């Protein structure tokens, strides 16, 4: 069970989720647990029918249930009824995490904070963090230890930057964002001009990265600054760990990208797209809204809205599946063709022999 210092009552949680309490509204919890590992003082939830038996055996103090779920027998935990228990637990986890973050305030020693930077109310600066000149931090910003924030960076209200993240000069981070450890925002784009002698000359990358509100960036994900202008991540985007976003890329609202995917320079992704793990998009392409790209797929052409793409190079999923039904049988087809060739050769030889008689 994950423990928190804060304690929340069933009534408080129900009000937060706009749910209904069944049982003692004063029942309090200090942590969250999986339903099969529930203990007193813990809150758990039931949403997957596979775990139904634990509803009746869990020792948790509070359990989230869907409003339409009918109990087969009486249970000990206090119940909070919500429209969707799975979404509800996500909100509860956010409540606990917010309360934990709220306890972080002030500046730890040693840290380096330029006197030419500005901080809003209730900010937290961890030990060994570096805040350069011209930096503007909004209210309730949390900068964990060993974070680097370069010159003239702006970070909006309630954003959290976890230990070891680096934000290069001139980048703009919106409100309510989460940047995980090891993320690098604003490193130079991969721009080199080939020379006549075979060498490469670096092209200065003088733009920045603009990250709008309500964005989460996973650990060790990198977002390169633009050559000119801005690399832009629009609001609501969720980036997994180990993702590469190249210079001058633009990613539309509420797009989700899974780990080890790569977006090459100047590509534009639309709104509400989903990229599964290790998907790739080559440079200077446009991917429309609500496009789903399957794992390990490679996008090499512009994609219209509302498509499902699969394969490398990627094609529409329905076409790929039909093609796959053919090429997975190629060995058998090859054997059949070889057999037919041999039979034809025998027939031709027999025909030639008859002609010579």
CA distance 188 to 215: 21
What's the first-to-final CA gap in the chain, in angstroms? 92
CB-CB contact of 273 with 291 (8 Å): yes
Say what the alpha-carbon torsion angle 44, 50, 52, 54 is, to the nearest 10 degrees.
-60
Q: What is the distance of C-alpha 237 from the center of its chain?
A: 7
In the sheet with 280-281, reading across from the earlier edge strand, the strands are 112-113, 130-131, 148-149, 166-167, 184-187, 222-224, 244-245, 262-263, 280-281, 298-299
Which residue numbers are catalytic? 247
CB neighbour class for 336 (10 Å; exposed up to 12, middle 13-18, buried from 19):
exposed
What Cα–Cα distance (Å) separates residue 43 from each residue in 17, 50, 89, 116, 218?
14, 19, 9, 45, 26
What is the 8-class DSSP label of residue 303?
B
CA distance 225 to 232: 9
Quick one: which H or E segment has residue 78? strand 78-82
CA distance 84 to 73: 21
> Among 249, 330, 260, which Cα is nearest to 282's?
249
In the sheet with 154-155, reading across from the earlier edge strand, the strands are 118-119, 136-137, 154-155, 172-173, 208-211, 230-233, 250-251, 268-269, 286-287
Structure tokens at 280: 């790739």
Residue 354 region by backbone torsions, left for phi larger than 0, else alpha for psi between -120 and 50, else beta: alpha
Q: Where are the alpha helices (DSSP H) in 42-106?
A: 85-102
């Amino acid at each position: 069970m994950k423990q928190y210092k804060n304690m929340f009552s069933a009534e408080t949680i129900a009000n937060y989720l706009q749910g209904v309490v069944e049982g003692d509204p004063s029942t309090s919890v200090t942590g969250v647990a999986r339903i099969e590992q529930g203990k007193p003082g813990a809150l758990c939830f039931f949403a997957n029918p596979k775990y139904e038996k634990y509803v009746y055996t869990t020792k948790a103090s509070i359990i989230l249930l869907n409003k339409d779920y009918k109990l087969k027998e009486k249970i000990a935990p206090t119940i909070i009824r919500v429209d969707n228990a799975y979404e509800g637990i996500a909100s509860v986890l956010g409540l606990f995490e917010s309360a934990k973050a709220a306890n972080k305030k002030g500046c730890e020693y040693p840290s380096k904070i330029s006197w030419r930077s500005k901080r809003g109310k209730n900010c937290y600066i961890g030990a060994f963090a570096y805040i350069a000149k011209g930096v503007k931090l909004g209210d309730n910003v949390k900068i964990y230890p060993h974070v680097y924030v370069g010159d003239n960076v702006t970070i909006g209200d309630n954003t959290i930057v976890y230990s070891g993240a680096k934000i290069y000069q001139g980048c703009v981070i919106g409100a309510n964002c989460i940047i995980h450890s090891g993320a690098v925002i604003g490193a130079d784009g991969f721009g080199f001009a080939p020379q006549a002698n075979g060498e490469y000359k670096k092209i200065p990358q003088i733009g920045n990265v603009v990250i709008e509100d309500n964005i989460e960036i996973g650990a060790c994900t990198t977002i390169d600054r633009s050559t000119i202008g801005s690399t832009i991540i629009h609001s609501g985007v969720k980036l997994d760990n180990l993702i590469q976003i190249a210079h001058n890329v633009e990613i539309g609202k509420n797009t989700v990208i899974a780990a080890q995917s790569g977006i090459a320079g100047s590509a534009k992704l639309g709104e509400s797209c989903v990229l599964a793990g290790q998907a790739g998009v080559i440079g200077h392409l446009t991917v429309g809204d609500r496009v789903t790209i399957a794992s390990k797929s490679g996008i090499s052409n512009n994609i219209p809205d509302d498509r499902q793409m699969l394969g490398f190079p990627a094609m529409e999923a329905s076409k790929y599946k039909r093609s796959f039904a053919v090429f997975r049988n190629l060995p058998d087809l090859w054997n059949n063709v070889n057999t037919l060739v041999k039979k034809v050769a025998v027939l031709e030889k027999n025909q030639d022999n008859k002609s010579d008689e």
